[in-house]
Structure 1
């Protein structure tokens, strides 16, 4: 821990220095932000040092590991200064006054060195926490189940706030846009941070170490504060800027993390004797998680339906506004998520189909990014076109889909913690096994090829891909690819029934990608099938074959 605190101290020095030294040549901040940024840089190591000095090394380790979990995303966010500083929305470090390409200066390299040092500190702290005696070993499963959903929801709220527009702006050189409308590098950094927040929050609470869990939540809250407060003050201090809702929403999520970090086992609602972890008393917590997942999935479906059926563009001239060819794909993706969400309210089907929902949500991102691409492209070319309500509903559907996925994954974590195996009597339950490896390997290769090649070929039409023509839809393709590959990796390590559900969700994603041809070809003149259609259909066959092997293995185990 001493070495970890030393690395964190070095990271704080680098970050504080990067807040003072210009990040690009000729850079000037939009307001006097240096004192604030220095305090925010020193805050994590100071908090961790206080807990370490008080004999709480697990809490200190949790703080450092949580801040380190956000370091990769923050580093990529800072790399926007290296690619094109003129479109970086970071007035606390640089307020652009022209569109010239400024070269990176010493401040940027100090910031990157600080993020690297913080990542190293988190790794060292994690190793120290694993080697030490658990702090808060008297914690029971009741505390984890009581606060797990609250923590994940708070982390998701913070992530949504960080993805929203940081402030309003009337300055043409300070484009205050949400993350999805900004440059690709900054979007990547924001998405890394947004994904790390709920994932690490769930992992921390389910770690089994009370001190590490509470320190992790505290560290996540500090990380969110470090990202949101500069934007909040920029909206007040910069003349051309105005206060936005994004930082306020993020800080509300951070407040939820801080509140749970301040609790102890035995406090809060539902106090009293802890239930037996293997008994039926653990079921209501899981039921609430499944119900919450179902509600979020239905909300996602409604938002996706509104995004597909309302106008994405409005025209101020006589000509009608174009419609996105991907709108019907978004409608189908939303209906799929909605049907699986309704199944979460059916006791006999909820646990059976929840893994499928943990995969199918990516279809909303797959279609939603394509819908948004039409609006972004059209408004950037034709001055008479403006975004319509469909863009807002599509964006909300994508955010709701991510929240649904997080809640579904948390429900899965709780399900795996339960000693009652799915379909077992409390003993060991056989996994789906390695017999599926051959079709799963084929499905993985086919999935990457399918999402990376076009499903529609037409004159004067160039579809976005993974390694060519990378654009806004490519992010949806990437999310779908990673989700399918994740399901393929998890299936052999799962019990037969969840493995089948995972593979079924992955097959739905590939099927949805292939269905882009019949659903969108009517709006594209001369559209014909591309090779991506046949690769996707072949991937569906491979996944169904693997699912059949899992079903056969489950029947043999039952016999």
Structure 2
């Protein structure tokens, strides 16, 4: 079937499913987003402020029209599915771009956005209408993506075959390129000799801008992985191009500003980001040679087998652990004068988290062990974020208040690379878990993709997860003890992340409800992942449920370990309320894990040991 015929069939299926109205709505929203972003680029974003780059509006307008142009070009050629992918890929990065722009409302003097505003004083300036037009444009980009996905969902039964080679290799190339691009985005955007314009990387800058950069950097690999794993060549191609267009809109203005403003200079960050985005675009079009795997039939294109996915997650976790260890032992700050640079008291927590995640990553290369370790890794990775943000807080405070005496050291780079790669490992582990569950539901489904070792591991997982019954699988009721333990653990874990684990006379720890700072983002991520794992454990089969609960216990234990590990770093340190809440939460998690391992779910009218009704 030719691409034109397939796209025509897809469009007819969309109309038959009642999804056709979503397509015009998606394009209408995209046009409105372009108009809003164009207006925001032309109208001042800060009261009384001026742009540092005369060509800034032109660059921003071109970047604003890029996703719409790509989607329109695909649609005119009959590539409706590819157009949907472009709009959805661009929408995935829009929330982070909106948060990045909101730094101009929080504190424009600390925003590194010379294409929109070049600070000329230290006075507080109010946001101008242009900023809210930009934010509204990003919001409409998200709306366009939602409509596009609704249109695609209406034709879920129609999936174009992946005619471009091995999806496993494409997944590895696309996600790796997206990770490289994300790393470039959080690096220093340019060098600066301007008195009022600081050239800082994402972790040295203000909190709002840091959150925006991290959202964009995290969305890139996730979007790339989802696009490639869709199993549709056109949707994959459009999704990768849409994500690349959104990433370019963040990286390219910094390059243009560095070339167009005399007091600014090029930095490696945006160059690295653009290089990764170029590889992402190449991955969308270049055929990936298959690795001696039988060709899929009837458009049955799936993700790589469980062994390869688990190995990929393990490699990412091992790399994250190594980077975390290096980040903990290398200087976070460097000083030019005789004053010694302070060390972060949380660096030993980062070292412990890196070692644990690294060991889990290494275990993922052993197929029989990886089946049991994967759920643990799906939760434990967040310990790197919890400790990493606490370590980076020292650099953020010192570089922002030391009057230029202190600058970030190599430890900062290694730490945020560890955080990004840990997030990639989490995404890979979650995808591997989805494939594992499909394999258990249909044991013969992945026989031609995985080797004999994986078959043994899968059979072992099937015995543990299926034959014994799930902790909360479909059709069963949770035992009261398990339900109560999960609920208590969730409440205690949230409180444990929200209040300080240790206290000291001259030390004020960050939290979720008081003194919200850089470490608070890691604490928030830890609380969300732990609560999500507890909810998922209630609905998982037995072995994965126990693994998830073990991962929760690992994260909580590492969080509590920050108290003894900081004793030699902070004078007068003592256990805070968070330590005791963590201790209680770990006990509740242990009770839940033992209950999930020993007690089968209560099933109505179930006569067989596995909980299945006899015929």
TM-score, scaled to structure 1: 0.91
Deviating more after overlay: 430-439 vs 339-348: 430-439
1:9-20 → structure 2 map (5 Å cutoff): 9-20=31-42
In structure 1, the residue matched to 2:387 is 367
In structure 2, the residue matched to 1:412 is 433
Deviations 1:267-317 (A, max 9, x none): 63337742589x9x9998433333333333333333322333334345666
Deviating more after overlay: 38-47 vs 415-424: 415-424
Shift of the 139–493 alpha-carbon distance from structure 1 to 2, 3 Å rule, reads: farther
1:31-430 → structure 2 map (5 Å cutoff): 31=53, 32-132=55-155, 136-139=159-162, 143-263=166-286, 268-270=289-291, 273-274=294-295, 285-314=305-334, 320-382=340-402, 385-418=406-439, 419-420=442-443, 423-424=461-462, 430=469
Deviating more after overlay: 299-308 vs 227-236: 299-308
Deviations 1:29-66 (A, max 9, x none): 22212222111111111211122222221111111111
In structure 1, the residue matched to 2:19 is none
Deviating more after overlay: 17-26 vs 190-199: 190-199
Contact 1:65 1:122 in 2 (8 A): yes
1:530 to 576, 580, 583: 576
Number of residue-to-residue matches in the alignment: 555
Structure with the higher fraction of residues in helix conformation: 1
C-alpha displacement at 1:417, in angstroms?
4.3
Contact 2:100 2:211 in 1 (8 A): yes
Deviating more after overlay: 134-143 vs 316-325: 134-143
Shift of the 230–390 alpha-carbon distance from structure 1 to 2, 3 Å rule, reads: closer
C-alpha displacement at 1:471, in angstroms?
1.5
C-alpha displacement at 1:443, in angstroms?
1.3
C-alpha displacement at 1:323, in angstroms?
3.0
C-alpha displacement at 1:437, in angstroms?
2.9
Is 2:42 the counterpart of 1:3?
no
Structure 1: runs of 5 or more not aligned: none
Shift of the 477–234 alpha-carbon distance from structure 1 to 2, 3 Å rule, reads: same
* In structure 2, distance between residues paired with 1:516 and 1:43: 47
Secondary structure of 1:391's counterpart equals helix
Is 2:514 the counterpart of 1:493?
no
Contact 2:392 2:518 in 1 (8 A): yes
Contact 1:135 1:211 in 2 (8 A): no
Contact 1:87 1:174 in 2 (8 A): yes
* In structure 2, distance between residues paired with 1:558 and 1:345: 33
C-alpha displacement at 1:536, in angstroms?
0.5
Shift of the 48–334 alpha-carbon distance from structure 1 to 2, 3 Å rule, reads: same
Secondary structure of 1:174's counterpart equals coil
Structure 2: runs of 5 or more not aligned: 1-22, 444-457, 473-477, 602-608
Shift of the 172–557 alpha-carbon distance from structure 1 to 2, 3 Å rule, reads: farther
Secondary structure of 1:522's counterpart equals coil
In structure 1, the residue matched to 2:471 is 432
* In structure 1, distance between residues paired with 2:399 and 2:548: 39
* In structure 2, distance between residues paired with 1:126 and 1:155: 21
* In structure 2, distance between residues paired with 1:102 and 1:283: 50
* In structure 1, distance between residues paired with 2:202 and 2:64: 23
Deviating more after overlay: 147-156 vs 224-233: 147-156
1:461 to 486, 496, 507: 507
Contact 1:290 1:345 in 2 (8 A): yes
Secondary structure of 2:555's counterpart equals helix
Give the superposed CA RMSD.
2.9
* In structure 2, distance between residues paired with 1:500 and 1:548: 8
Deviations 1:468-497 (A, max 9, x none): 011121122112112212212222233222
